[in-house]
Amino acid sequence: MADLTLTIDGGTVTVPEGSTILDAVRSVGGDLPTLCHGPTLEPANVCRVCMVEVEGAGALVPSCSRVVDEGMVVHTDTDRARHSRTVVMELLASSADLERVDDRFSAWMEDHGADPARFTGATIEGRPAKVHDDLYVRDYARCILCYRCVDACGEQHQNTFAITVAGRGFDAHISTEFDVALPDSACVYCGNCIAVCPTGALEGKIAWDMKEAGTWDIDRQEVTRTVCSYCGVGCNLDIHTQEGAIVDVTSPEDHDVTLGNLCIKGRFGWSFVVSVDE
Amino acid sequence: MDLRLLSERPSAEERSAVDALLGSPERGDGRVAVGGHAVRARRHLLLPALHALQDAAGAITRGGVAYISERLSIPPTDVFGVASFYELFEVDGPGGVTERPCDDIACMGRGVAPVGAGTHVEPSACLGQCDRGPAVLRHEPGRGYTVRTGGAIGGPIHQPRSQLRLLRRVGAVDPTSLDAYLDSGGFEALAKAKAMGGEAVIAELEASGLRGRGGAAFPVGRKWDGVRRAAGDKVVIANGDESEPGTFKDRVVMEDDPFAVVEALALFGFVTGAKEGFIYVRGEYPTAAARLEAAVAAAGERGLLDLAIEVRRGAGAYICGEETALFASIEGFRGEPRQKPPFPNEAGVFGRPTGINNIETLVTVLEVLRIGGATFAELGTEGSTGPKLFCVSGDVDRPGVYEVEFGATGRDLLDLAGGVAAGRALGAVLFGGAAGVFGGDDALDVPLTFEDTRAARLTIGAGALIVFDDTTDFEPVVERIARFFSDESCGQCVPCRVGTVRQGESLQRMFSNPASTPLEVRLLGDLAKAMDDSSICGLGRTASLAVRSAIDLGLVGAAHG
Ligand SMILES: Cc1cc2nc3c(=O)[nH]c(=O)nc-3n(C[C@H](O)[C@H](O)[C@H](O)COP(=O)(O)O)c2cc1C
Ligand code: SF4
Ligand code: SF4
Ligand code: SF4
Ligand code: FES
Ligand code: FES
């Protein structure tokens, strides 16, 4: 594939054809905020926290999805781009509970000086979490509608189509059909939606309970890589333990076959053990 | 993918309504639907199937959703997600009759129309009947939609017929008769096009200077040429979703000159090489849809069409007029706009190269062919050629669709409409509808051309002029506009989904506590910049225009601004 050259904030950068602006920025050690962009998913293009200025384009462009053109001139740090990113962060944080969002994102909010208190009004914060079983919790007061879980459950990973975006505008939300409880839906409890959720809206039951109780402490946790023994596929498992107890199981995103996905046995098999032990 | 279906079953009415659309079921029942590639390729039938359910039951029920899922091999959650997107689908609703009275800005001065006792009432945004409001859209299971207004179907034409090009058949030629259409010069443009060839048609269009009438003013010749040059199995679309408050010109054309729309789309197909076409009609326009369907059938039977045309009914979503959202809607997905590029002529509906034009644009193409591109270019101004339809509504004596040559001013249109109603003084005019800009008396002298309105920071939009007299309280008007955008946002992108809500809240605070005006005005400015710059589509990008112009003009927030 041919290489393309572009200018980012005054510096010349060369990237392979097909790279996004975000790829190009990262290739030279820079970075931008992202939320809906998941490394294992097609860009959903919806959160708009990654916007940059491209000379010649009327509006700002999403860096996570806009593919680089030869000679493109990009500015990531103009007042205009920062203003937009800041307001979008403020709007998000004023409308949903971002307390458990990905750490990198909190750092970006601080970096941009985002002040969500400027925008008070309708919020989904405080909506009760949906706890329908012992495996995982859907705490939609934290949902920013990034579409990642829907894409992971649907045609991009799992092909189950248990969840969708329903409604429109500010009422849009993630739902099963007619909002039936998860056990009555098509859900197969693979937990692959949990793996891609950037806000803590989807969480394993044990992890969620511990976070609610304030006992979740990442500094006291260890992660052990192992291979799942339930079937012959051989998925990698990362077992997270806190003081000797299993608190979560994830799968490495950079695995080229499983892309962070698992099935119910790999992801939740341990929790039966835990519940029995208790 | 195996489908897990809901356990509820459809009623006999629901089943037969869906079967009437899809044919009788080949196979498959119980909780797991079967169906291979062929069934899934019918995903695009989802919207018509949901209409069938709503028409049968007055609601989208669980049993109905289960049945559609099974028949089309679409997961029930997906069917639910799509149904819940559209205003006209009463998901889990009570069933029975629903009435939707318009409570939007062009009707405001006339109050809200009374609704039938015992009906389910859902107030609605502009119903596109502003020339004869206040309007109500009624839905009755088994009988479909009807519109109640203060006037007749179509548009009363208040201008001498000799002045009319685009509207010359409206009210004069029977819209249900193909022979009447043929007798009045119908299908001559298509014959001419075929005789001269596609390339020559494009040359005429380029010479004509014709630009799109749907709001973006894109040169038509260039668009058609792009589609013509694209490789692949192409599609052409007539955009009749017209949902901008204060706009009803496309309805008048579709209702009263439906064959012209069909001929123009066939011409679009001939020039670009498309074999398939859609007319996407706003769900709130039942008469237009019925007349277009009849026109397509009649012209087809007479062997006048090489293009397979399907009329598709929208289901209550302003955003589906945005071209990429319209594609998603036709495909059977939620009407969410897609990031461009790719542009429609590269990858449009079903990923195929697509040409899409507004209804008025298409019928104007017929006029270009009739008189020739060069003659057409002499009409109007240099930068804005040809005739143009304007919708004048609100506080005027004779609201209606007016056809003028580009160059006419707002004052000319106001005069045509009989001036401000009851001899009152002007308060303001909203140019372009909700996505438009307020102007005062001086704005009435600006020629309504693309170039002059741009210079004066006004807009033509799709051609709406909503007139407000000097007794108007603009606070509820501006709040209604803000609510329009938060109601109609598809919800996909944050600046629009949350920004449109914050805009409305800020206005409410400002109106209830005028002392907060300076603070709120600053907040509104910050919001507007982010919405303009970072929204995916034109809805979010224009959602703050009218609000800001109302503040700038001092219609609201003046005392403390
Ligand atoms: C929110 C939104 C709503 C729109 N609604 C319509 C509509 O109802 N009818 C229409 O023709 N164009 C509408 N458009 C413009 C279309 O995207 C597209 O530009 C147009 O159909 C192209 O036709 P034209 O070139 O003939 O104007 C809308 C655009 C936006 C952003
Ligand atoms: S657990 Fe798996 S099947 Fe269930 S909603 Fe999440 S991704 Fe879909
Ligand atoms: S639940 Fe999580 S992954 Fe799903 S849309 Fe909300 S924030 Fe995104
Ligand atoms: S700007 Fe609004 S309507 Fe357009 S894609 Fe974004 S949320 Fe949807
Ligand atoms: S990260 Fe780019 S739009 Fe969300
Ligand atoms: S029909 Fe009421 S405002 Fe248009």
Q: How far is the CA of A65 from the centre of ligand 5 (A)?
A: 7
User: In this predicted structure, what is the pLDDT of residue B339?
Assistant: 84
Q: Mind listing the pLDDT tens digit for each residue in B487-511?
A: 999 999 999 999 999 999 999 999 9
Quick check: B7 pLDDT over 90?
A: no
Contact criterion met (CB < 8 Å) for A49 and B488: no
Which band of pLDDT confidence, cut at 50, 70 and 90, is reported for residue B109? Answer: confident
Q: Which long-range contacts (CB under 8 A, 24 or more apart) does B528-532 make?
A: B528/B503, B529/A80, B529/A83, B529/A84, B529/A87, B530/A83, B530/A84, B530/A87, B530/A88, B530/A91, B530/B495, B530/B499, B531/B495, B531/B496, B531/B499, B531/B500, B531/B503, B532/A59
Q: Mind listing the pLDDT tens digit for each residue in A7-35?
A: 999 999 999 999 999 999 999 999 999 99
> What is the share, in percent, of chain B residues with pLDDT greater than 90?
89
In a domain, A95, yes or no: no
φ, ψ at A252 (rounded to 5°): -65, 130
Quick check: B28 pLDDT over 60?
A: no
Q: What residues contact residue B371 under an 8 Å CB cut-off, 6+ apart?
A: none
In a domain, A145, yes or no: yes
Of A60, A91, A161, the CB nearest to B494: A91
- DSSP 8-class letter at B5: P
One domain for residues B192 and B176: yes
Span B535-547, mean pLDDT? 97
In a domain, B153, yes or no: no
In a domain, B559, yes or no: no
**Which ligand minimizes its atom distance to the CA of A266?**
2
Q: How far is the CA of B317 from the centre of ligand 6 (A)?
A: 15
Q: How many domains does chain A have?
A: 1
Quick check: B113 pLDDT over 50?
A: yes
Angle at which helices B499-512 and B517-534 pack, to 10 degrees?
Answer: 160
Which band of pLDDT confidence, cut at 50, 70 and 90, is reported for residue A253? Answer: confident
User: In this predicted structure, what is the pLDDT of residue A132?
Assistant: 86
Quick check: B124 pLDDT over 60?
A: yes
Q: How far is the CA of A35 from the centre of ligand 3 (A)?
A: 10
Domain CATH for A171: 2.20.25.90
Interface with B, mutate which of A52, A72, A178, A199 (most B CBs under 10 A): A178
Which band of pLDDT confidence, cut at 50, 70 and 90, is reported for residue B34? Answer: very low
Average of per-residue pLDDT values in chain B: 94
Of B339, B532, B534, the CB nearest to A65: B339
User: In this predicted structure, what is the pLDDT of residue B301?
Assistant: 98
Question: Whose structure tokens read 């949350």?
Answer: B498
User: In this predicted structure, what is the pLDDT of residue B30?
Assistant: 39
Beta-carbon count within 10 A of B465 CB: 29
One domain for residues B29 and B176: no
Last residue in a domain, options B425, B452, B469: B469
Q: Mind listing the pLDDT tens digit for each residue in A215-244?
A: 999 999 999 999 988 888 889 999 999 998
One domain for residues B463 and B533: no
One domain for residues B174 and B73: no
One domain for residues B113 and B76: no
Ligand 3 neighbour A197 (Cβ under 6 A): yes
Burial class from Cβ neighbours inside 10 Å (0-12, 13-18, 19+) for residue B523 reads buried
Which band of pLDDT confidence, cut at 50, 70 and 90, is reported for residue B27? Answer: low
Contact criterion met (CB below 8 Å) for B247 and B396: no
Q: How far is the CA of B429 from the centre of ligand 1 (A)?
A: 22
User: In this predicted structure, what is the pLDDT of residue B559?
Assistant: 62
Span B49-60, mean pLDDT? 97
Beta-carbon count within 10 A of B121 CB: 13
Q: Which one, of B380, B428, B353, B344, lies nearest residue B109 by Cα?
A: B428
Q: Is the peptide bond before B341 cis (omega within 30 degrees of 0)?
A: yes
Per the DSSP assignment, residues forming a β-bridge with A24 are none
The protein residue whose alpha carbon is closest to atom 6 in ligand 2 is A193
Greater model confidence, B31 or B287:
B287
User: In this predicted structure, what is the pLDDT of residue B176?
Assistant: 98
Span B135-139, mean pLDDT? 95
Tokens, residue A116: 């969500």
In a domain, A105, yes or no: no
Last residue in a domain, options B313, B348, B377: B377
Quick check: A2 pLDDT over 90?
A: no
Alpha carbon distance B346, B352 (integer Å) = 7
Alpha carbon distance B184, B254 (integer Å) = 17
User: In this predicted structure, what is the pLDDT of residue A271?
Assistant: 65
Q: Which domain holds residue B539?
A: 474-552
Q: Which one, of B465, B457, B458, B501, lies nearest residue B482 by Cα?
A: B501
Contact criterion met (CB < 8 Å) for A46 and B81: no
Residue A124 at interface with chain B, using a CB cutoff of 8 Å: no
Dihedral sign, CA of A106, A111, A112, A118?
A: positive
One domain for residues B507 and B369: no
Alpha carbon distance B326, B319 (integer Å) = 8
One domain for residues B463 and B479: no
One domain for residues B253 and B203: yes
Question: Mind telling me how many Å the CA of B276 is from chain A's nearest CA?
Answer: 28
> What is the share, in percent, of chain A residues with pLDDT greater than 70?
97
Ligand 3 neighbour A137 (Cβ under 6 A): no
Q: Which domain holds residue A177?
A: 136-274
Quick check: B40 pLDDT over 70?
A: no
One domain for residues B331 and B419: no
Q: How many domains does chain B have?
A: 5
Tokens, residue A119: 């925008």
Longest CA pairwise span in chain B (Å):
70
In a domain, A47, yes or no: no
Span B231-241, mean pLDDT? 97
- DSSP 8-class letter at B486: H
One domain for residues B519 and B482: yes
Alpha carbon distance B365, B208 (integer Å) = 9
Quick check: B214 pLDDT over 70?
A: yes
User: In this predicted structure, what is the pLDDT of residue A169?
Assistant: 98
pTM tops 0.80, yes or no: yes
Of B6, B81, B92, the CB nearest to A165: B81
Which strands, in side-by-side order, build the sheet including A245-250?
A221-227, A236-242, A245-250
Tokens, residue A158: 């799992």
Alpha carbon distance A212, A206 (integer Å) = 10
Quick check: B91 pLDDT over 60?
A: yes
One domain for residues B439 and B464: yes
In a domain, B157, yes or no: no
